[in-house]
Structure 1
Amino acid sequence: AMSRQLDMARVYLSDAIDLVEKSGREAIASMTEGDEQRLLSMGLKRFTKPDLFNVKDARRRVAAGLIEANEYAY
């Protein structure tokens, strides 16, 4: 059970990092240019670099646990 909760957290974190990175790129592109844009883009890349893991398998494990319990168990 604990591993499924960890899978859920990691999947959520992966999705959240993607959203933050996309929003950050849009904000940087709309408010800056030149060297400042390049510098901010490098910072964004540094702070939104997730640890790679298999999100697809994690989602499948979570789904399998929910199907097995036959209810939303969290």
Structure 2
Amino acid sequence: MPKNEENSRHWSSRSVGAPWQHRFFYGLIRLGGRRAAYFFLHFVAAYYMLFRPDQRRRCDFYLRRRFPGAS
């Protein structure tokens, strides 16, 4: 089986965040704009890098394909 078919078989559209977290982020975008949202997103990304390696590993295929030679 080709690698991309194998990965698509394991895809889950279920979101990692809770509904209140999504509402918070959408509210932040509406009230603070894109700058505030991107600022907050730095902390979210740092959290996933430090405390959720399982989620980070799921992105490896995409990131290696999207940014070849970056690793």
Scaled by the length of structure 2, the TM-score of the pair is 0.33
Structure with the largest fraction of helix: 1
The structure whose RCO (Cα within 8 Å, separation 6+) is larger is 1
Scaled by the length of structure 1, the TM-score of the pair is 0.32
